Amino acid sequence: MRIAYQGVTGAYSEAAALRLNASADLMSCLSFEDVFAAVGKRKATHGILPIENTIGGTIHRNYDLLLEHEFPIVGEIKLAVVHHLIVNRGTTLEQIKRVYSHPQGLAQCERFLRRLKGVEIVATYDTAGSAKMIKEEQLMDSAAIASERAAHNFGLQVLQSGVQDHAHNMTRFLIVAQEETPLGPPDKTTIVFRLSNEAGALFKALSVFALRDIDLTKLESRPIPDRPFEYLFYADLSANPEEFRCARALMHLAEFAPSLKTLGSYPAWKEPELPAAS
């Protein structure tokens, strides 16, 4: 298994990929688009993409890319995210004039950053990439919000630990592949559909699942670029589409939804069981 991820070594996407498969060959990519390109050109067997965070919310761009590239979702993973304020060795909190990180990393540490008076907050393409930059440029008046692994990899110092707004900060990642082979028995399905702009359309769409006791674990709307103020709806269902009730629900939805597509069926993430105490 070769997994493409966005960022440099020390990125949370890299940590998620290693949690999925500790022995996987990993491929660093500059952007989310490059992750899809790596899978499309078969430079990687799988790509891993952050899709939502418990503090920062949805990574909207990746929903758009899922539809644009049409690679099936074959798995998911959830990763606890602990952010650290990282600096070159010798830099003190009082010396810091700028803090760099990915927009999601900054959003997840908003309350902490507001307490840093007179400090410029700078968005970058990657958390670990920010740590790499302050190391390579020897920025003694700057810090990065990144992982402890990034600090270790680039020989930096953790100035403050756990600076995210909430202790229980988690990111959910999706795994995509060219081949539609789920990474285990599928019990979760992601779909995308469009509805006519009329009263009760969304209620009617959701009722096809409610009537069959199918749990919707997520519902997300995204604008349709060439149809102003019309939307696509992405939904996660706790069901396998081959189940009779789910197949019937999707058939029912297709009767009145102008478009409906399944983006993937895959195993919902389950935390690995801890070894029993001896």
Catalytic residues: 171, 173
Q: Are strands 170-177 and 216-224 parallel, antiparallel or unpaired?
A: unpaired
Say if CB 137 and CB 160 are below 8 A apart. Answer: no
Nearby residues of 107 by Cβ (< 8 Å), 6 or more positions away: 53, 55, 56, 57
Of the candidates 74, 29, 13, the one whose C-alpha atom is nearest the C-alpha of residue 267 is: 74
| Rounded Cα–Cα distance for residues 249 and 253 (Å) | 6
**Tokens 């010798």 label which residue?**
90
Q: Classify 117 as helix, strand or coil.
A: coil
User: What phi, psi does 112 have (nearest 5°)?
Assistant: -65, -45
